[in-house]
Structure 1
Amino acid sequence: MAALIYTSLCSLDGFTADAHGSFEFAMPDEEVHRFANELERSVGTHLYGRRMYEVMTWWEATNDFSDMPGFVQEYAAVWQAADKIVYSRTLTEPAGPRTRIERRFDVPTIRELKAASARDISVSGPTLASHALRAGLVDEVQLLVFPFILGGGLHMFPEAVQSTLELTDERRFDSGVVYLGYRVRRT
């Protein structure tokens, strides 16, 4: 059975984007990027909402990564090899291969996907992740916390959702970024 992992980059005060929708504060340096590459290797399927998918399509739209650093090329290869499911009422066509569009987030379907998958599943973007968190589908939370206080914006966790988490991994980076890995405790 695959784990459903909520992976997020966030500010110290828990925002994935600032009040203007920018996430430039969370641009990883090489050390953090290489670590993120390793985290992504276990993922066989990414679940995205439309906005997050549109951000991530850069990794498909840029066909020539040859002039980019090796760690960027590596991430592109890992990301392109994974399947993507995009939840959107407005998109009609996926931007690239290995991608399908679904009109709604269906909890029983996600449970079936978890049971049938040999590799982990990642849910990205706080809006879509809120559905998975509310439904109790998330097994792990992986955070890369950047040393910025934004004071507002798009919060990474939905209101009124409570979970008990167990710290399973942590790492500090020279840039001040901290990785925190948690397992969701089932009661």
Structure 2
Amino acid sequence: MRKLIYGFGVTLDGYINDRDGNIDWTDPDEELHQFHNDRYRDLDISLHGRRLYELMADYWPHVPEDASPILREFGALWTAKPKFVFSRTLTEVQWNSTLVSANAVEEVRRLKSEGDGVMEVGGANLAASLIPHGLIDEYQMFVSPVVLGGGTPMFPLLDKRIHLRLAETRHFNTAVMHRYVTV
């Protein structure tokens, strides 16, 4: 069965963007960006909510030639990676993407059962629909030293606790990664 990872850059107070949807507080250093490139390369499939897909599609397929090699590498990785985009409003997707407008929980269960590799979920709303169903196997939080006081939380309100085990902590210049696995 495929493992599903939910990983995101997050503020110290638990937000993935500010009240206006901005992520301009994130500033991954070169080491952290290379870590993300390496991690993304090892994924079988990337799952995107509509907002994240639109944000990513607006930049990564069009990385300027004068951008750093690490940014150009991620652009190539992102456009080539098989993606499933969950949306009820989009009518088409590009860049090796499959549009899914049906039940996200059932589709993710199907994708998990069809392989042995690793998938990631991107987008807080999509992840929020999967978390209560126990579909996330690992959480990776890249905590930046900033407090926003509001925005989109990384985690939804839950009816019951999720017990996790800290599996790894790694320090980068601009963030600290905490990797948790479900128990």
Distance 1:118 1:76, change over 3 A: farther
Counterpart CA distance in 1 for 2:156 and 2:95 is 31
TM superposition score normalised by structure 1? 0.90
* Counterpart check, 1:106 vs 2:107: no
Taking only the aligned residue pairs, the percentage that are identical comes to 36
Distance 1:7 1:105, change over 3 A: farther
Distance 1:122 1:152, change over 3 A: same
Counterpart CA distance in 2 for 1:65 and 1:22 is 21
How much is the aligned-residue C-alpha RMSD, in angstroms? 1.5
In the alignment, what sits opposite 1:47? 47
SS in 1 for 2:44: strand
Amino acid across the alignment from 1:36:
H
Amino acid across the alignment from 2:102:
R
* Counterpart check, 1:166 vs 2:142: no
Amino acid across the alignment from 2:134:
G
How far did 1:65 drift? 4.4
In the alignment, what sits opposite 1:56? 56
Moved more, 105-114 or 160-169: 105-114
Structure 1: 5+ residue stretches without partners: none
SS in 2 for 1:92: coil
CA contact (8 A) 2:3 2:116 kept: no
Counterpart CA distance in 1 for 2:103 and 2:178 is 27
Alpha-carbon deviations, 1:9-48, whole Å to 9, x = none? Answer: 1101100011121111113121211111122122121111
Distance 1:118 1:80, change over 3 A: farther
Counterpart CA distance in 2 for 1:127 and 1:146 is 21
Structure 2: 5+ residue stretches without partners: none
Counterpart CA distance in 2 for 1:128 and 1:109 is 12
Aligned pair count reads 181
Moved more, 131-140 or 112-121: 112-121
Moved more, 138-147 or 73-82: 73-82
In the alignment, what sits opposite 1:117? 115
How far did 1:179 drift? 0.7
SS in 2 for 1:24: coil
Counterpart CA distance in 1 for 2:101 and 2:109 is 17
In the alignment, what sits opposite 2:25? 25
Counterpart CA distance in 2 for 1:82 and 1:157 is 25
Distance 1:88 1:71, change over 3 A: same
In the alignment, what sits opposite 2:11? 11
Amino acid across the alignment from 1:131:
S
